[in-house]
């Protein structure tokens, strides 16, 4: 049976994908032939030990790094060569391990900058900033200088700045890093609401396995830049390759 163009489009709609993606750094293979799929309205965990290539994958997807091989697709369209700002304007948002707020600007202005950066007018940017702060319960801190925020709110600011770009796919690099268990639970609830309220596909890199196993619909596991398992949390925990790679323990899983 032949597949029509319309069938191809419907099969890839609402998907952010990499196909055979890889990158070498001076002969060192950092990511090797990875096929990854993030669907809208899905929470995908991207995990692995230190140096597995997790943050490198985010940089490849967003265009911060150019792959040595393979492609990145949005809704079936090859966007590998697109710049980071073009990908952001077309629905790919991200946060960073280090939040990097504009410390001399207010919290409100930091979020506003996120929207303006993808071509949104100032009036709409201000509206988005106000709505996002209200949703996150941070309206009273809108005009605080960003550098004055406590650490947990600084990480939330990074998420709000990314949401201001109106993403369909949101890539969160260690959103709960440095938070205690209670704060991590709040972040988990926020991520679930991001999926449900904003309709995003959310990819989460996180060393907190308690959070990952409770939060994610699927988990993609990397080791030495290669995929060793993709599945539900239950499937990943029971997978022999994962158990072998990590000596039967989840301890010590951390930054890429």
Residue 201 DSSP SS3: strand
Q: Per-residue pLDDT for 118 more than 70?
A: yes
Strand segments (E) across 166-235: 169-173, 201-205, 218-223, 226-231
Global pTM?
A: 0.90
Backbone phi and psi for residue 247, each to the nearest 5 degrees, phi listed first? 55, 35
pLDDT in tens, 198-239: 999 999 999 888 999 999 999 999 999 999 999 999 999 999
Tell me how far CA of residue 103 lies from CA of 11, 134, 139, 154, 165, in angstroms: 43, 21, 18, 10, 20
Q: Per-residue pLDDT for 174 more than 70?
A: yes
pLDDT in tens, 155-165: 999 999 999 99
Q: Per-residue pLDDT for 132 more than 70?
A: yes
Query: What is the pLDDT, as a whole number, of residue 2?
Result: 44
Query: Given pLDDT bands bounded at 50, 70 and 90, which one contains residue 256?
Result: very low
Q: Where are the domains of the chain?
A: 40-66+81-245
pLDDT in tens, 191-205: 999 999 999 999 999
Give 180's DSSP letter.
-
Query: Given pLDDT bands bounded at 50, 70 and 90, which one contains residue 91?
Result: very high
Query: What is the pLDDT, as a whole number, of residue 10?
Result: 60
Q: What is the CATH number of domain 40-66+81-245?
A: 3.40.50.300
Q: What is the mean pLDDT of the chain?
A: 91
């Amino acid at each position: 049976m032949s597949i029509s163009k319309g069938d191809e489009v419907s099969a890839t709609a609402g998907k952010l994908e990499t196909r055979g993606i890889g990158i070498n750094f001076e002969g060192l293979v950092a990511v090797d032939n990875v096929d990854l799929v993030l669907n809208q309205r899905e929470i995908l965990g991207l995990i692995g030990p230190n140096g597995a290539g997790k943050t490198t994958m985010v940089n490849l997807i967003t265009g911060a790094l150019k792959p040595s091989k393979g492609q990145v697709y949005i809704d079936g369209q090859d966007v590998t060569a697109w710049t980071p700002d073009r990908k952001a304007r077309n629905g790919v948002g991200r946060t960073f391990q280090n939040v990097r707020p504009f410390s001399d600007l207010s919290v409100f202005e930091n979020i506003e900058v996120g929207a303006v950066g993808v071509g949104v007018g100032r009036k709409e940017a201000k509206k988005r900033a106000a709505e996002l702060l209200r949703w996150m319960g941070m309206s009273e801190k809108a005009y605080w200088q960003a550098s004055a925020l406590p650490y947990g709110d600084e990480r939330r600011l990074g998420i709000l700045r990314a949401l201001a770009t109106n993403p369909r796919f949101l890539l969160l690099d260690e959103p709960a890093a440095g938070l205690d268990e209670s704060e991590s639970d709040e972040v988990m609830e926020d991520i679930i609401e991001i999926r449900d309220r904003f309709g995003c596909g959310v990819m989460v890199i996180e060393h907190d396995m308690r959070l990952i196993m409770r939060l994610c619909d699927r988990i993609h596991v990397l080791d030495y830049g290669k995929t060793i398992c993709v599945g539900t949390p239950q499937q990943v925990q029971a997978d022999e390759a994962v158990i072998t790679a990590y000596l039967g323990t989840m301890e010590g899983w951390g930054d890429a």
